[in-house]
Structure 1
Amino acid sequence: MANVQLDVLFKKIQKDDKKEVLEFHILGDDVQYKSELINMAGSIVIIEIGDVKLSAEFKSIQRDSKKVVLKFEAKGDSEEKTIKLYPKAGFNVKLSLEQSQMSIEEFEEEHDGIEYNVDGDGSVSVPSGQMSMDEVDETGNEDDLLD
């Protein structure tokens, strides 16, 4: 597995309601590890900046005449880790990248779901023991749903 260390400009970190994007710029013409970076693009990587280590999807690599732009989308349990990165944005940092052994499909969050059956008339029945919407209305306390 490739392990790459680069001196980069941590251009920005941007968060919206669904994702957190990290953008790095490699300045200059001579880019080390070109083939390794191209091979990592589109996969899950482990990013390390200083004492912060997190998993991210390597979204894209773009090159123009002045710089190479690397974009990553933070994945998994990275929220508290990415908060530690905000003070580093806008500065030159040492970026370590290591290809993860997990694929993107394995990394996507899954849940068990709720078992149910759809009857011929379109109504849904759930196994006994599961709370129904009628029972939710009766309790009137949303905190009961969190248990």
Structure 2
Amino acid sequence: MSKIELDVLFKKMQKDDKKEVLEFHILGDEIPYKSELISMAGAIAIINIEDIKLSAEFKSIQRDSKKVVLKFEAKGDSEDEIIKLYPKAGFNVKLFLKPSQMSIDEFYEGEQDPGLEYNVNNDGTVEVSQGQMDMNDIPVGEDEPESETEDEDDLLN
């Protein structure tokens, strides 16, 4: 698929839980590259705006009577490029899109929390790896903070 060129309103950028959401509006009745845009939704795309280039997941395309909304979620490793985009938000820009060779799994690779390593035995008990803390390592009794509710009750009486 070739590169798609669109004249859009760069409506907004929104930071949300470690991700950057980019929203573009295509104004008017005619939607150029309609079938290509629909086929790209849900995939990774390369976005170019002037000299700024970044990878993003094409989250959704929505149409109403006045506009078409394109939403993208930028990858976190393109933070320098994202910062360059802020001054362009709220203005009409030329948006260039092309599908990436990257899959959704590759896009999110490295963002997963590895968690704790453990093995589940046949009897249902769990063994953690050497060096990891278990419940028996937590001190009980002496180090517990005193209850604040007792002090509050004394003050109220």
Distance (Å, rounded) in 1 between the aligned partners of 2:4 and 2:23: 16
| Equivalent position of 1:140 in the other structure | none
Letter matched to residue 60 of structure 1: S
Per-residue CA deviations over 1:71-113 (Å, capped at 9, x if unaligned) read: 0000141112111100000000000001001110122123795
Q: CA deviation at 1:19?
A: 1.4
Gaps of 5+ in 2: 134-157
Letter matched to residue 30 of structure 1: E
> Aligned-pair RMSD on alpha carbons?
2.3
| Equivalent position of 1:4 in the other structure | 4
Is 1:42 the counterpart of 2:39? The answer is no
Contact 2:46 2:100 in 1 (8 A): yes
User: What secondary structure is seen at the aligned counterpart in 2 of 1:59?
Assistant: strand
Letter matched to residue 95 of structure 2: L
Gaps of 5+ in 1: 134-147
Q: CA deviation at 1:5?
A: 0.4
Q: CA deviation at 1:17?
A: 2.2
User: What secondary structure is seen at the aligned counterpart in 1 of 2:126?
Assistant: coil
Contact 1:55 1:76 in 2 (8 A): no
| Equivalent position of 1:87 in the other structure | 87
Q: CA deviation at 1:40?
A: 0.6
Distance (Å, rounded) in 1 between the aligned partners of 2:117 and 2:66: 56
Q: State how 1:13-28 maps to structure 2 within 5 Å.
A: 13-28=13-28
What is the TM-score with the length of structure 1 in the denominator? Answer: 0.78
For the structure 1 residues 116 and 39, does the alpha-carbon distance in structure 2 shift closer, same or farther, using more than 3 Å as the test? Answer: closer
Q: State how 1:61-72 maps to structure 2 within 5 Å.
A: 61-72=61-72
Q: Kindly tell me the number of residue pairs found equivalent between the two proteins.
A: 130
Distance (Å, rounded) in 1 between the aligned partners of 2:119 and 2:39: 45
Contact 1:7 1:92 in 2 (8 A): yes
Is 1:124 the counterpart of 2:125? The answer is no
What is the TM-score with the length of structure 2 in the denominator? Answer: 0.74
Identity %: 71
Per-residue CA deviations over 1:47-68 (Å, capped at 9, x if unaligned) read: 0001110000000111111111
Contact 2:118 2:126 in 1 (8 A): no
Letter matched to residue 119 of structure 2: V
